[in-house]
Amino acid sequence: MNISTIMDQIVSPKPYVRGTDMMWTDPHISKYLLEAHLNPNSGAASRTFRNIQVFQSGSLSLFN
């Protein structure tokens, strides 16, 4: 697959619409959820830097 084909398939995201998910609107829950997402040592809510590196190196090898 060439990069032009990939670029042609990119779709712009929809504008932000405030959701109703309690996870982000409840002050107690959202505090801990945000902490989990921002913790670079945990993969519980977001990918760790190491996981990103592994994914990136694997993805880049597809273009070689």
Whole-angstrom distance, CA of residue 64 vs CA of residue 60: 7
Helix, coil or strand: residue 2: coil
pLDDT digits (tens, 9 = 90+) for 8-20: 888 887 787 777 7
pTM over 0.75: no
**39: pLDDT confidence band, cut at 50, 70 and 90?**
very high
Averaged pLDDT for residues 10-32: 81
